[in-house]
Amino acid sequence: MSNCFEVTQGAPLPLGSSVQNQGVNFALYAPNASQAFVCLFDKSGHTEILKIAMNINEGGVWSIHIAPLSTGALYGFRVDGEYSPEKGMLFNEHKLLIDPYAKDLFNEFTWSERHYGQMPLYNTVNQFVGGALALISGFSVGREGPSVHMGAAGASILANKLHLPHNAMRTLSGCGVAAGIAASFNTPLAAVIFVMEVVLREYKVHIFVPIMLAAVTGALATQFVFGEGSELALISIAPLSGWHYPYLVLCGMGLGAVAYAFNQNLMLIIKTFKPLSMFPRLIIAGCIASLIAYAVPQAMGSGMSAITIAVESPENMQLLTTILIAKLLATLFAIGLGIPGGLIGPVIGLGVLTGTLMAFFAQFISPGTDIAGTYGVLGMAGLLAATLHSPLAALTTVMELTSSPEIIVPAMIVITTAYVTALQVFGNRSIFLQQLDFQGLPYHVSPATEALQKVGVMDDMDEDFKLLYSDDKEQIKNSLDAMDSQTPLILSLIHI
């Protein structure tokens, strides 16, 4: 197909595509859209060769005439505009739309059920194998990524095998995520809170109990194989006096700003390199990682390696600053370019490094006291809360990993300040939700839809009724008189 076309205004009618004047006229009714496009594809149907903006007409119809073009051309629409599910606005330019007036569809169209917790197996295999290779190669990604995908995919496959309804499948997938996180960090309580706060975004008892059991199972499996220790066990926690609290507020504000900058730059990298296919992005990621590894090898690997460095050299400001900058770049480009792996691990490492650097000025408040470890943990808590929008999960993570009650009040101060600063001052949003928005995957559910999704037809069905096979009025009247007002009568009229 040639890319040399003559494009003119087009006619608003008829809607759909129609052959006119040695070309094809496209018309689409979308009165609330800000822009509509018609996209042409090659003969394989996989490569988009042309994207042309359509013109708006009176009555909310967008149209364009393209020549030379004939019957059999492969096309689709893209429509941009407001995305407000509560208003019924679901515009997303990244989604290819089917012409409702199309005469035929190219290739097979399959309805997707991913919104109900079903996960494709190939994606899980890719995450597991790719994540393992990425961690072995030293990329700055978290080890929880493959675990979470395996847990969620296993739960999804089990739900399919048992023919569970969609509402149960969603809960079971949440159980798989909780088990994966608990197994990765040996933090069952934090895994439960994270799933309720970030993944499912609701707190219900009937959901809480199975997720809690799954998290316990994942943690017990990890403890059985690797023992009960954690990376933060290397950090010594010293109690902080009340004189530190004003400085902790400033630290929280700084962490909120860092979280905002991290999320914005990560999304910028994702959007910038999105037009490239996966292979060129992997090559670019490998080259960048090689350069960083050559210059600052301590910055590579999961975030847990940074904890060891912060514990061993808390007084070396130059080394910690260099590692922090290098690890920040390594994480942004690894995750942004699509390297399989998790985000939580690197954020934990970045938070510990940032908090340890903040402890340098806190030493003037408590001279002679080793507080670098305490501030490292607080930095991790604040950055987790502000980046992922999970303040409660960040607090429980700190409590579980340190087993220190002295850290609770300072952590609450830092987490609250960081979260409020990122949200209210900078308008920061969860990095996961920003990625969903960019990919065009809806996550807003109306209250009515949410309530209906939780109701099973069999559970809500009333089986106390009387079925009458008759069209005799007298028999129907007698049946109604003999029944109480609470029992419904179903008539099956007989026609001969």
How high is the mean pLDDT of the chain? 83
Q: Which residues contact 166 (CB under 8 A, 6 or more apart)?
A: 113, 116, 117, 453
pTM higher than 0.85, yes or no? no
- Give the percent of the chain with pLDDT over 70: 85
Q: Rounded to 5 degrees, what angle do the CA atoms 465, 470, 474 make?
A: 100
3-state secondary structure of 5: coil
pLDDT in tens, 353-382: 999 999 988 888 888 888 988 999 999 999
CA distance 146 to 153: 10
Say whether pLDDT at 223 is over 70.
Answer: yes
Segment holding 399, helix H or strand E? helix 391-402
Residue 6 β-bridge partners: 67
Per-residue pLDDT band at 288 (split at 50, 70, 90): very high
**pLDDT recorded at residue 171:** 83
Task: Answer yes or no: are the C-beta atoms of 389 and 429 closer than 8 Å.
Answer: yes
Per-residue pLDDT band at 419 (split at 50, 70, 90): very high
Q: Which residues contact 291 (CB under 8 A, 6 or more apart)?
A: none
Over range 312-340, report the average pLDDT.
Answer: 91
Task: Answer yes or no: are the C-beta atoms of 206 and 248 closer than 8 Å.
Answer: no
More confident residue, 195 or 89: 195
CA distance 126 to 470: 60
Per-residue pLDDT band at 327 (split at 50, 70, 90): very high
**pLDDT recorded at residue 164:** 75
Per-residue pLDDT band at 72 (split at 50, 70, 90): confident
Among 117-131, 147-161, 299-313, 358-372, the range with the most confident prediction by mean pLDDT is: 358-372
**pLDDT recorded at residue 481:** 72
Say whether pLDDT at 299 is over 60.
Answer: yes
CA distance 176 to 221: 14
CA distance 331 to 349: 10
Pairing of strands 83-84, 74-80: unpaired
Per-residue pLDDT band at 445 (split at 50, 70, 90): low
CA distance 228 to 220: 9
**pLDDT recorded at residue 55:** 86
Tokens of 287: 């080259």
Say whether pLDDT at 488 is over 50.
Answer: yes
Over range 453-468, report the average pLDDT.
Answer: 63
Over range 376-403, report the average pLDDT.
Answer: 92
Say whether pLDDT at 421 is over 70.
Answer: yes
Over range 424-453, report the average pLDDT.
Answer: 76
**pLDDT recorded at residue 456:** 62
Task: Answer yes or no: are the C-beta atoms of 160 and 118 closer than 8 Å.
Answer: yes
Say whether pLDDT at 401 is over 90.
Answer: no
Over range 441-451, report the average pLDDT.
Answer: 64
Over range 324-352, report the average pLDDT.
Answer: 92
Say whether pLDDT at 496 is over 50.
Answer: no
Over range 308-315, report the average pLDDT.
Answer: 81
**pLDDT recorded at residue 106:** 77
Task: Answer yes or no: are the C-beta atoms of 142 and 343 closer than 8 Å.
Answer: yes
Per-residue pLDDT band at 174 (split at 50, 70, 90): confident
Q: Is the C-alpha dihedral spanning 313, 318, 321, 327 positive or negative?
A: negative
Over range 284-311, report the average pLDDT.
Answer: 87
Over range 465-470, report the average pLDDT.
Answer: 63
CA distance 101 to 13: 12
3-state secondary structure of 10: coil
Per-residue pLDDT band at 470 (split at 50, 70, 90): low
Per-residue pLDDT band at 351 (split at 50, 70, 90): very high
Say whether pLDDT at 64 is over 60.
Answer: yes
CA distance 203 to 206: 9
More confident residue, 200 or 351: 351
**pLDDT recorded at residue 413:** 96
Q: Rounded to 5 degrees, what angle do the CA atoms 305, 402, 349 make?
A: 25
Over range 172-197, report the average pLDDT.
Answer: 89
**pLDDT recorded at residue 435:** 84
Task: Answer yes or no: are the C-beta atoms of 96 and 80 closer than 8 Å.
Answer: no
